Every structure is written in structure tokens, then in C-alpha cells.
Structure 1
Amino acid sequence: MTKNRATTAPDGKPTPVSGEQAKGEQAKRLHSAVIADELEAEIIDGRLAPGTRLDEQALTERFGVSRTPVREALHELASRALAERVPYRGVLVAEITRERVDALFETMGEIEATCGRLAAERMTVSERAALEDLHQTMSRLAEAGKERDYELTNTAFHTAIFEGTHNLELIEVANALRLKLAPFRKSQLKATERMQRSNEEHAAILAAIIDRDGRKAEKALRRHLMSAAKAVLAKMA
């Protein structure tokens, strides 16, 4: 027997949603995420030039899906500032300049430095232990050259530091900026040498946080973001 799940109707009353419907929604989200990731990579790599129109119909045919996941993917690209909606022209690939990337990393560096300082002062023992576990996992992934898994764990590592501040406003700001910078941070980790260097930088960050040394954690995170920025900007040269 298929169990129903409740959602909220316009009148505020719950309406049942079947298991099959829930699976369908999950599939749509999965499709949109795959489409967004593929287009993101093409934009970052320069395969989709600035000003290129991202036509919904063409994309539905290319990916073999309906318009809904394509629209969701385009919305996601716009939220990452990789595309923009232009009146009467549709969704266009945004221009990515060195100046913009530099500004994003500079801002993120300061935000993460603040998060690192506060996390070093405020994290609980269990939170510090969990952060250490994430670093150990990343060490194994870096050694094995598992780029995708490393990138996902890397996101979890930085998110744990944000949450370790126990400051909801700062966490919200840090996560919003992380989403904008994520495509660039992801691209620089594709090189094995950079992935291993990133892991070494994480070791310094972790040590400072475990030692409750806020200033040292602040400095380590600022340097970490500067190192990532150099790797990304070098590819844009």
C-alpha cells in the first residue's frame, strides 16, 4: 500500500501527496541539479560564452526532459550569478571577469576568516571532533584523487565551520556567498596538486580551531581563500 504525505494547500489545509508523486518531485529536482551542474561547468570552462542565450526549448531537447527541470536549472544558475534574466531576451550567460572573481574571493575570505575565529572560540567538543573526522575523510579522498567526493566533503567542512559560530545571521550570509563562489571553488579542485594543497591548508585551519586559537584560525582561513583565488585566477589568465 502506498503511503501518502501531506502538503499544504492554498487554504492552509494539508492535502495528501502520494508516494509516487513524491518520487516524481524528487526526480525533477535531480534532473534540474544535473542540468544546472552541466551548464555551470560549460560556463566556467568558457564553452558557453557570455551573452549566449540559454533557450528553454533547446535545453529540453538536449537533456530529454520537460520544461520544469530546465526552468529550475536556469533559476539556479541565476542565483549563482552565472546567468541573468534580460527583458525580451530571456536567460543569458553572465560575463565572468577576473575583477568579479577577485572580489568574490576577497569577500568570502573575510567572511570565512570571521567564521573561523568565532568557531575556534565557540565550537563544542563534539563539533570539533566532527570537523576533525571530516578532515580525515578528505585526507583519504585527496590521497585517492577522488575529486568529486573531496569537493562534497570540502563543502561540509566549511559549512561546519560556519555553523560552529552559532551565529544564525553570519551563517546565512556565509552560505549565500558560498553558493555564488561554489562553481569557482569546485573548478580549482579538479587539479590533484591543488586538492592536496587544499587539504594541507585544512590541516592548519583544523589545528587552530582545536587549539581554540581564534586569531590563528582567522589567518589560516584567509590564506586558504587567497590560495584558492590564485588557482582560479591563474586558469583565467
Structure 2
Amino acid sequence: MSLPESPLAVAASSGPLRTGRKTRAEDIREQIADEITRGLLPPGTLLDESALAARFGASRTPVREAIRELAASGLIDARPHRGALVARPSLERLQNMFEVMAELEALCAGLCAQNIAPAERRRLELLHADMGEMMRLGDFAAYREANEQFHTSIYAGGHNDYLVELTLATRQRLSPFRRAQFRALGRLALSHQEHDRVVTAILRGDRDGAAAAMRDHIAIVHDAYEKYAQLI
């Protein structure tokens, strides 16, 4: 029997295409991360808080928060009194991060297949269909934003708030790399196919199948990022 929807589940899936309003720090973090992963800010580049604040028309507080989050991802080396330098996480650390992410998301998908409520099922199906249209239109920006809602909806559908906290924290660290991999040739279509296997298993109530499909999906995301990174 499906569990009733939690407040977290409702918030995560309030509409088929809504991902929530980003904070200023999140917006700045994403823009800097995109420039780093695209090679526009090479390793060793000094990031000055005052200059970034002026560039983004923000105070230094959200800039400082963005830098702190990017440091957690390994994209910035921030040292007290020495400023922040663009860096790259080691291949081993990135591998470790993706391995943990794959297991967390696999657990979320499995629990979602077991516990998802009827209204959550309908919203997940609708979101997946909408993302198929974004893929066909080649709308990278919309698909990338909807992708975050897609995964968050699956986390919420498992109805285990502590697991959601752990998974979101890990996803935030990997967010720059997960977003960058969409630039790989043909990645939107492949991503949607991988999502389809996850959704199909969830809707069947196949806990093991959903977990396996999600684990494979995250492994492919990692590989796609590695291939993209070799080109920049």
C-alpha cells in the first residue's frame, strides 16, 4: 500500500515544470560552475569576492556562500586569507562521489517504487512526458532544470526524509558535473531513455528494477561528464 504524501513530496512536485525559485547564491554558484566546467575559468584562476559581487550585482554574502559550495564540490580551492582559486577535483574523489550518489539514488528509486502515492505517480508521469518534449525540441536549459525536479520527485516519493536530506546534500556537491554532462553530444536523448527505464520500474512497483535502473543512470552520467571533460 502506498504511503500518504508527505509535505516534502508535495513541495517537490507542486507542478509539472516547477523547480522552485533559486536563491541568489545558487544562481551565482551555477554560473561560476558552468564557466569552470566549460573551461572558461581554468585551474589556478583567482576568484575575487568583491569583483564577483560587482559582476553579479550582488552583495558579498551570496558570493561567499557560492564559493563555499563550489569548494565542497572540489571546483574551488578556498583558503583563509589566500583567496579562492579555481581547481579540479581528483579523478579518484570524483569517482568516489559518484559511487555514493549512485547508491543513494538507487535506494531512493527503490523506495519510491514501493511507497509512491497515486498523486505522485501521476505527476512523475506528466513530468517525464514533458521532459520528452523538451528533449525533442532540444531545449537544454529547460530539460536541465526539469531534471532536478525529476530526481527530487523520486527522492520524495520514497517517503524517507532523512534519506532525502543525505541525497540532496550529495547531489549539491555533484551538481556542477551533472549539469555539465548535458553538453555531451546526444546526451538529452540518452538521458530521457535512462529516465524511462527508471520510471517504468517505479510505476510497476519493481523496487529492485528501479534501483538498478537508477544506479546505471548515475554511472552513465559520470561517464558522460568524464568524456565531456576530456574535450575541454
TM-score (norm 1): 0.80
Corresponding residue of 1:21: none
Number of aligned positions between the proteins: 210
Q: Percent identity?
A: 40
The amino acid of 2:147's aligned partner reads N
CA RMSD of aligned residues (A): 2.1
Q: Which runs of 5+ in 2 are unaligned?
A: 1-20
Amino acid at match of 1:101: L
1:65 and 1:122 map into 2 onto residues whose CA distance is: 42
The structure with higher relative contact order (CA 8 Å, sep 6+) is 2
Cα distance change, pair 57–102 in 1 and its aligned pair in 2 (3 A): same
Q: In 2, distance between residues paired with 1:224 and 1:113?
A: 9
Q: Which position in structure 1 is the counterpart of 2:39?
A: 46
Larger Rg: 1
Aligned in 2, Cα 1:64/1:218: closer, same or farther, shift over 3 Å?
A: closer
Deviation at 1:142, TM superposition (A): 0.3
Among 17, 21, 37, the alignment partner of 2:30 is: 37
Cα distance between partner residues in 1 of 2:123 and 2:56: 39
Question: Does the 8 Å contact 1:50/1:94 carry over to 2?
Answer: yes
Deviations 1:158-178 (A, max 9, x none): 101111111111010000011
**Counterpart in 2 of 1:104?**
97
TM-score norm. by structure 2 comes to 0.82
Contact 1:51–1:95 (8 Å) recurs in 2: no
What is the aligned partner in structure 2 of residue 151 from structure 1? Answer: 144
- 1:162–1:66 CA distance, 2 compared to 1 (3 A): closer
The answer (yes or no) to whether the contact 2:46–2:84 under 8 Å persists in 1 is: yes
Which among 188, 193, 212 is matched to residue 195 of structure 1? 188
Q: Is the contact between residue 142 and residue 192 of structure 1 (CA under 8 Å) also seen in structure 2?
A: no
Superposition pairs for residues 152-231 of structure 1, below 5 Å? 152-191=145-184, 193-231=186-224
Q: Could you tell me how far 1:72 is from its partner in structure 2?
A: 3.8
Deviation at 1:58, TM superposition (A): 2.5
Given the alignment of the two structures, is residue 134 of structure 1 paired with residue 127 of structure 2, yes or no?
yes
Shift of 1:67: 3.2
Q: Deviations over 1:119-170 (max 9, x none)?
A: 1011111111111111001000000011111011111111011111111110
Which AA in structure 2 matches 1:89?
A: R
